[in-house]
Structure formats: C-alpha cells, structure tokens
Chain A
Amino acid sequence: MQRTPLYDEHVALGARMGDFAGWLMPIQYPTGIPQEHLAVRQDAGVFDVSHMGQVRVRGPRATAFLSWATLNDPARLRHGQGQYTLLANDRGGLVDDLYLYRDADEDYLVVANASNVEAVVAQLRALADAGAYEAVVRDESASWALLALQGPAAAAKLDRLASADLTAVRKNRMIETALSGMPVRLARTGYTGEDGFEVFCRPVDAPPVWRLLLEAGATPCGLGARDTLRLEAGFPLFGHEFDAASNPLCTPFAWVVKDKPAYGLDALRAADCRRRLVGLVLEGRGIARDGYHVVDDAGDRVGRVTSGTVSPLTRRSIALAWIDAELAADGARVAVEIRGQPVPATVTPPPFYAG
C-alpha cells in the first residue's frame, strides 16, 4: 500500500485510514464526514489528494497531439489555464477523466486519477507513437504532492499566505508562487462545487504546507467528505459514473466533447444513448448505493445506481444513476430498490444543493 508524504500528519490527527486505489488515504478525521462536508460548504476544508497522478506531455506538436488524444480542446487553453477533459478508448467508452493544464505552447501537465495513471500514460504513449507526434509522455507523479483547499473562505485564507495576489487568479487558472518561501503551483479549481485552489508542491514541502493551511483555519477533510461533496455537486467519479463502457455524450458532461477529430470519438458518436447518466433525489429513507437497481412503475429494472449518499446539507437521499433514456427526463418518476423495497425517486439535474 502506498503512502502520501502526509501520511504521518493524518495519523497524528486521528484519521481513519483506508485503501483507495492502492493508497492508504484518510477516509475521515474524528469530527466525521458530515462536519467536514459542512466546513467545505460554509468555510474551508483541505484534502490530501497526493495519490492523484501527474503526467507531463511535451514536444514540438504537443498541442496537436493532445487535441487528437483527448476529447476537450487544448488549443483553447492559454498559458497557465486548465480544462476538464476525457480520454476515450476505441470501444465507445472512457479510459479516464483528467485535468489538463497548459504550461507553455507545447508543454502540458495532466492530472489523472490514481487508479488510472498507468493506463493514461500507456494510452498517451501509444497514441503519440502511432501518430508520430514526437511527444514525450512522462509520469511525474512521484515529484508532486497535491492538496486541495476548498470552500467559500479558501481564497481569503490562502491569499494571506501566498506571495501572489490570488484575487486576480480566475477559475481554471494556475499560477506559480510561494507559500512561506516554499514553491507551489496554485490552480483555482476543485472537485467539491466550491471555489478553491489545488496546491501542487514538492513532496518534501507537503507537511509544512498542510500545517500552514490548518493554521489558517482550514478543516482537514478525508476522502469520505470528498465523495459526498462531489456527489452533491453532481461530479462523476471514475469507476462509478464513468468506466470503460461509459459514453460521455449520454451524460451532463457531453459539453466536454468538442467538435474536432479525436481518438475514440467515432465510436462514441456511433452509439445510441440507450441509457443516460442522471441525478436522483429519493423521497424515502435509505441510501441508494452503487449497484442498486432503478425500477419503473411496473417494477421492471430500468437502470443502476452508480453513487449515492445522504446530503449532509439537505439530509435528502441523493444518487447518480444510469437509467433508460426514455425515463431520463428531468422530473421523471422512478424508484430505487433498497433492501428489496422500491423507494420513489425523481430525476433531478445536479447540483443537489443551492450553490
């Protein structure tokens, strides 16, 4: 099991540690998932996401290469700007969802899910070679620690620590600056639905940076709260909403797929959206968990839940599910089988809270 540079910090804080994609990660701290969740919605929380992968892509035609290799359009990025993007396979599904930052004209930093780093590197290398793009694809994951400071007070807390003026950093922009003399990259993005920054730093600096953020008043948050926050915001998690058979054109993330040639795009376009990814709000008690069946009025199975939780903000039971396209309209009525009982649910576009 791999450990991040912050492992000892988590243990010292009394975190409950658990396996996530081969990494021993903090699931929650003693205050508990709902309190961590609310801290991010109301103030600021900090997450260790150093398990995520960083992949460098550079070369004389790196932009042309990534334009072919990914479904969003890197040519739209300015220097120091990032975008959410997707890597498709050639069978109408996905390899991973990614964040892509443009450092220079032909120099990019890709942030991949921990479980998929090897697959991402392998596919990017294969596509670079096949297209003779002369792109260098290098796994830099061991060179980076990654923290996420998220919440409405995140920018104000970080601004007091940073050498640069963070109020000028717009969403999806990345800057290089220093926190107490430690070099960092700050990207105004995140996975919680809140304003905030992802903090890229050297592994050796991760413990002091973490402590700085805690001293600034950020609540330490584990992967449990990260999951309830992203779900409340309606964001997909690879391995749940997205996998090797998921067509992003049948999801609320179809906007990511731009109208240009890209690897795997023909297969995605050729497929029908027999099922669609939707949000569900349940009317009864119980959590709709990954793998639970969605049923229609007649009790026939019409889909499957991919993630579910109870919103710590609204206390409503919420879920994401792939369901038959004819039942996927906003307001449509379905039910989720929970322990053998159909619990009524309404198709509801995320986010599941008033932002």
Chain B
Amino acid sequence: MSKLQNETEGMVCLFMGNEAIARGALEAGVNVAAAYPGTPSSEILENLARVAVERNLYVEWSANEKVALEVAAAASFAGLRALCSLKQNGVNVASDFLLHLAASGTRGGLVLVLCEDPGALSSVNEGDSRHFARMLELPLLEPGDFQEAKDLTAWAFQLSEELKTLVMVRSVTRLSHASGNVTLGKLALPSGQAEFRCDGFILDPLEGAVASAPVLYKHALQQEKIRKAKEIFEGSPFNTYHGPACPELLVITGSACSLYCREAIEILGLQDRVGLLKLTTTWPLPSDLIKKHLAQTEKVLVVEEVIPFLEENLKVLGAELAKEVGCKAFFGKRDGVLPSVGELNPDLVMTAIGKVLGDVACPGPSEYQRKAQSKALSLAPTREQTFCPGCPHRASFFSIYKAVELDGRRGFVCGDIGCYTMAMFPCGFGTLKTLHSMGSGLGLASGFGRLGQFGFRQPVLAVCGDSTFFHAAIPALINAVHHRADIVLIILDNSGTAMTGFQPHPGLGIDALGEPVPKIDIALVCRSIGARVESADPFDLDETTRKLSELIEDGEGPRVLILRQICALSPEKKGKKRYEMTVDESLCISEKCGCNRFCTRSFRCPGLFNDRMTGKAKIDEVVCAGCGVCISICPVSAIKGKEAA
C-alpha cells in the first residue's frame, strides 16, 4: 500500500515535496484532482492517481492546463473539494479561465498548486506565477519546508471554503523534488456528494449562477475576500519569526529560500544580529505582522527566487507605513544584492547578508577550493544534454536534418516543448530554429507559411510531440489548413508524455488510473481537419527521409508526417534490446575511411564511442539500448546488429 495512505497519525515518513502536497490534499478530503504533466509538478497527480480507487477520488490527466482547472472548478461548483496542479507556465495556459474564476468565486474547497522552476532546471523558461495572485486578487500560500507543504495544502482547502475563492499554493523544484521528514496527520474518510445548485437567486454564492458577472459587484466581492484573507493571515501560525527582538538586519523570505536563509544565518553565526521572518502567506501580505517587525529594525533583506514579487510588495507596504515605523532600507534583487536570475542557495544568501552588514567576513574560496575548481574544470569534461541511447528523436532529427539539407532551399524547423526541444543542440544536429511555448512551433510555422507574397521561399517545418499535439497544436493546425499555410508538421509520437514520466494523454487508450478509455487517433484528427497525412517508423532512416523529402516538395497546404516509435525509457521498452550490437573491427578503418568517424562525430549516440587503443568505433554494452539505427549510418557497414533473443 502507498505510504500516502498510511493511517498512523503522528508517524514520520520521508516524503518528496510533491508527495507531501498530495498527502495534504488527502488529509483535507480532496475528491477530484486534475492536472497536465509538467516538471516539477507531475508527481502530485501521479500519487493521487495511485490511491484514487481506495480513497474514492476522481483523478485525470487533462488535455491541457486550462481544461484541468475547469475540471477541478466544476467539482468545486458541485460542492466537492478539488485540486489542480500545474507547472509555472501551466498557469499561463489556465490564466484566462483563472481570471474569470477569481471573480465568479468557488464553493467546495478549490486549490491550485503551482510548482515553479527557478533556475529552469527542467524548463525552457523561468516563469514566476506569483504575480497572478496579485493581478487576479487571489490568496497565495508558499510552503517553506516539507511539513508545511502538507499542512498548508490541507489548510488551503479550508481557507478556500471560508473565502469562497480559489487558493493558490506555490512550490518550487527544490521543494517539490526534494524530500524530507513529514509527520502524518489524520487522513480524511473518502466522502463527497456532488450536486450543482443553481436554481436560487442569481447572486446567491451557494445557489445562484456561477459567473464573473455582474462584473463590478463580483469584483468588489472578490476584493472583500482578499481583505478577509489578510485578516486571517495576520494570525497564521505558518508565519514565523526567529531572531533577536530588535535585529540589526531583518531577513524576510518564504518558500525553499527560508531553508537557505536559516542555514546561511547559522553558518555565519549571526543568530544574535539577524532576524528571520518567514512568510508563508505571501498575498495578500499580513501588513500588521510585517509592520510589527519593520518597527524593530532599520535594514530589510528580501530573499526570494525569480521575480522581486515579495520585495516590491513589501516596499509598497514600507512606503505606506513609513510615517509610523520610519523609513527602512530595503535590499534584495532590485539593487543587485541578490542575483536577479537563477535559483538561490545558502552561499548566495551568505554573500548577500555579508554585503548588507558590511562587517561580516564571508569565507572566500580557500586555496583548497581554488585547486579543486581548477582540477574539475580541466579534468571533468562537460556533459551536454543529449537524447538517450535508443531515443527515437535522434533518428527522427537525423532524417529531418538530412531532408532539409538535401532540399537545399534553407528550410528550417520550428520547435516545441518536450525532450525533442534538445534538437536545438548537437544531439539533434541543431535542427530546431525556434522554441517557445507548447503548440507555438506549429502556430509560428502557420505564420511563416503565409509569407510567400513577401518573397519568402524557405521550406517551413514544425515538430510537436503526441501529448503536445492534443495540448495546444490542434487550433494551430486548423489555422494552417484554413489559411492554406505551406508547411510540413512532423508529429514525434513516442506514445506518452515521455519527458515528465509517461503520463497518458488522449491519444492513448488508458487514463490516469490505467483504466481503458476511448483513444483519439492523431492521424484521423489531422485528416478530418483537411491535412495530407503520412506516417513512418523513424528507425527506418531511408524511408523517413524519402517521405519527408516528398512532403517538403509537395507545396499544397499543410502536410503531416507522423513518426511513431515508443520512447526508449518507456516501461515497455526499457532494458529490452532489439539488437545485440557489435562493430566489426576488420571493417571499421576509422580515420582512414574518409567517413571522418561519422558514427561518433556526427551521429553522437552515447552507445557508441571511439576506442582510444584501436582508434575504431566500439559499442558501449552498458549504454547501448540496441535500437539498431546506427547499422544503416556506417558507410562500410561495420556496425552490425543481431536480433536479440
């Protein structure tokens, strides 16, 4: 049984932040959860899906984030408790609905968990969605450790019901994907009776219509909720202060940064001089609590990641309070005391505290550290990101690159979001030339494909994955067909949302619980929209290149090529080799061949390397996945594959 369902109240478990969030939801008696996968948020829904049957939950991987939030909101309107979890840019996708939801209000507790990625460890952006809380006037909570991730999530449902509005809970990679001790609370009993009551007086919050209109009335109501949230936050036990009564420096922080700050103060031995105010209720700010602390200090350092959200809001508050508490000196990102991009860590916080206090000696690099850094630089070669051995994308981009080069008209490929994003790098032969949000590759291609009247002659290609196709590419394909854009869309179908851990999508015949569900056929969708559709196995390089070359030449509206091959890491494939690969050393003549070590220098699969002793290509048996694609790239057929038993 999943430890998420452990009934022993008070027991200590090691939980990943995302597991703690899921447990918090279960302790609050969540009924419905919906999400679209995205690192670092995916494990929340995965964990809830695992216990869905026993806890009587409805859990789904929705087609995209906006639909996920709509599905969760419907449950709230029907009186149930619901959770929606997204990564940072997912909030952008859901934001149009979120704007109206903030105004319409909610019924059953509705919690939006956003997991952000400072430093973009697994993202193509460093988005910060906290601004949505201020912009859309919604309460925002930011847990500072694993225990709070559980406890605040559970409390968020109660808060949402009290205020009748959605509550945002923000986590970050270093919390969602980090783990720590969590003391379990009481698990709620599976329950829930759904009914959408809508026959009452139109403005009745529990029995009327749920809508953002009448706009001014609802907007005023929303602001009243935010004022009420502020009053509740003033007394929240989750906001804590540690330090002297009148600190020389007050550090105000939240989220994972509170762990960095605590450790930085401890390492510097400044517990008697520096106070730490950890805020978990970051919008609206508990202004009375902050006023009390501002009155006791002259200097304030605000420590947070990505955008100076807290810093700017505290400065507004500081200006409003100046006549009562005096003028304070604020430090943070805006003055460069802390870096304005990338994630923070205890070292960066130590440096910042040192800069502000002036008399604190931050240990600079020792002689040892200088030596160690220089050895690491000279001896440890960088590891660029690359496609896994056996990855279908390496084969696909090999053919795409080749077809575009053979065409010779300076064609290019618009990229999209997924592992195949890495085709911007050498592992994908630098094939991708644009990269933005999900579905944008095809939207951009649709635009490029209509520039002919301005003398534009370059062939335009776009790629997207199977999950991305359902998420955001369909409207762009409709647009391209409707406007006869001259483009080729290549759908890299690896049978799952592979990058985030094989979550199912509408193209697969299973749901989040692994139950059979109707599947939507990508080829059929494209054909019904009016595109010409071909398909190929990307592992067959010649056939793929030939079909693609033909599609590039056929300049008649959008053409679609579906390249289908399951991800090498998928549970069906992982660890199973199709071929036992070898290199025939008598045939490989290495540098003398004239191929210029094509297999290792250009194809660059990690399963092949050049043996230092013999100078010949060799298979790394530990790394090779046995896909057999490299058999057809060697000009002298030295790479051999024997069908594995």
Partners in one complex: no
